[in-house]
Chain A
Amino acid sequence: MSITEILFWFLTVLAIGSALMVIVSKNPVYSVIFLILTFFAISGHYLLLNAQFLFIVNLIVYAGAIMVLFLYVLMLINLNADAEPMKNKWLKIAGTVAGGCFLLVMVAALRTVDTKGITAQVGGGDIGLIETLGKTLFSEYVVPFEVSSVLFLSAMVGAVVLGKK
């Protein structure tokens, strides 16, 4: 096995394993930390695909900013086991059914997809490099890009308005 292959399998096992631990672990703070680990593993995959910009932006935005806020809120909550709100049996069953339905839809959708022709090229391709990505965003996708920035601005204004109340 080449080094890239070893890295690929290591990151894959890490990503899936820590993603499972997010939902399995009892302590919410552990869940958040495993989620951070999952983001790291996925970022590693981006790096293997030569998408350096996505790699670092995923780390800065998700692992560095959003998860800090998650952790921030969780640390202020009383995490004792008896204060756990999810005790309803029916809620658990409903959750399982909904998750199963989602799995069914995903399997059905992905079953017919031709995966042979679109294998990701490891190390090749430069679409994830910062120059290419910048040029693509500001030429081909300039309208959606600007529209999404307006969306962000309105969300920010909305947050300030809510905070002022």
Chain B
Amino acid sequence: MQFCLLAITKAFLIEKAVLITIVIAVSLVIAMYSTWAERKVAGFIQDRLGPNRAGWGGLLQPLADGMKLFMKEEIIPNASNKFLFILGPGVAMLTAMMTSAVIPWGNKIEVFGRSIDLQIADINIGILYIFGVVSMGVYGIMIGGWASNNKFSLLAALRGASQMISYELAMGMSIIALLMVTGSLSLKTIVEQQSAGWWNFFYQPLGFLIFMVCAFAECNRTPFDLPEAESELNFGYHQEYSSMKLGFYLFAEYINMFISSTLMATLYFGGYDIPFVNDANLLSSLGPNLTATLQALALFAKIFFFIFFFMWVRWTVPRFRYDQLMNLGWRGMIPLALANMVITAAFMLWRHG
């Protein structure tokens, strides 16, 4: 056999390790401060102050919450399946973190005479990779809910699983329509195309709407937070969890929200493209490092807007009933996504003659 696939040098390894560390740290910090932002936004919308005791404007509140979760007693129910009970939150966290591997955070930077891509892996199946990891995310909920050996947890887990499976279909089809427009599965290429021309949102407004609704459903966010509907299921699939295992589930939700916002920005809103600015001109006048920084800032501005949008919706729209959720998914979203796909295909055929 011929073994020549992985020509890995030490510098490459270090470069990627540093990049992975930074991306994970940034995801965690953003997820952490999303909890703070969520409570502040909720406070603003409901005309109250939100957290304001720990630190200036409550800025240390996430640290206090994290400390509280770490310090709480670790409880594993007697009747639970111990291994799976611990595996559940681990899987939830792992799948939440894995998605960030294929997202381009900016153009190249130059450090120590090396040109470094601000992307962990530019694989030519980027979107499919994300889709694959997202479809793994359901296992965290299902395993955790079942292993708790609690009827409410199990019901919530089954709700979560069926919800995610239903909305994955429409999400996949909205992505197919996007792929017809871009002609590439690599996220880097998609962003570069948008930097050169119009953002994909203008070609695929309906596709974006479907993608966004499905992203809400995949993240189990209101109005689709049925797996954790307190009034019906006590606390949802993580009812039996305590301490940091509960923290992992809650945290994974916020990381998912961050990654979904990143995907919406990358796929439909130009990714790291700075609007109204010619990136090539910027590159020649400012140099690669400053350009990459500005691009990353532009991407994060878009991400923060979408995270804010997630919160805005959460504190504005009430929860769906379960049959309404399924109706919307199967009778609303999937036909709409199919129609979007057919129209896009017809348009692409007509344009190419």
Contacts and interface: CB of A to CB of B under 8 A. Distances in A.
B2 interface: yes
Contact of B84 (A29, A57, A63, A72): A29
A1 B132 CA distance: 31
A163 to B, nearest CB: 12
Interface in A22-46: 27, 29, 33, 36
Contacts of B129: 56
Contacts of B142: 68, 71-72, 75
Interface stretch (B22-30, B120-128, B223-231, B291-299): B120-128
Nearest to A124: B2
B3 A60 contact: no
A53 B125 CA distance: 7
B185 interface: yes
A59 B132 contact: yes
B165 A65 contact: yes
Interface residues of B, number: 31
A19 to B, nearest CB: 19
Contact of A122 (B4, B132, B185): B4
B158 A75 contact: yes
A50 interface: yes
Interface stretch (B108-116, B133-141, B267-275): B133-141
A147 to B, nearest CB: 21
A5 B136 CA distance: 27
Interface string B160-181: 0110010010000000000000
A75 B146 contact: yes
Interface in A71-124: 71-72, 75-76, 119-124
A123 B135 contact: no
Contacts of A50: 5
6 contacts: A27-B81, A59-B136, A64-B132, A119-B1, A123-B5, A124-B4
B132 A121 contact: no
A122 B2 contact: yes
B8 interface: yes
Contacts, number: 91
Given A122-B1, A130-B185, 7 more contacts: A8-B3, A53-B128, A56-B132, A59-B136, A75-B154, A120-B1, A130-B125
Contact of A52 (B2, B125, B168): B125
A60 B165 contact: no
A68 B161 contact: yes
Interface string B26-39: 00000000000000
Nearest to A3: B6
A129 interface: yes
Interface of A: 2-5, 7-8, 27, 29, 33, 36, 48, 50, 52-53, 55-57, 59-60, 63-65, 68-69, 71-72, 75-76, 119-124, 129-130
**In the A-B complex, the 10 residue pairs with the closest CB atoms:** A64-B135, A123-B5, A4-B3, A59-B132, A56-B128, A2-B3, A60-B132, A75-B146, A3-B6, A4-B5
B131 interface: yes
B157 interface: yes
B5 A122 contact: yes
A53 B127 CA distance: 11
A69 B129 CA distance: 21
Nearest to A7: B6
Contacts of B168: 65
A68 B138 contact: yes
B228 to A, nearest CB: 18
Nearest to A76: B158
**Interface centre among A5, A8, A63, A123, by most B CB within 10 Å?**
A123
A2 B78 CA distance: 46
Contacts of A36: 139
Nearest to B87: A33
Interface string B235-259: 0000000000000000000000000
- Residue among B81, B132, B154 with max Cβ neighbours from chain A (10 Å): B132
Nearest to A56: B128
Contacts of B136: 59, 63-64
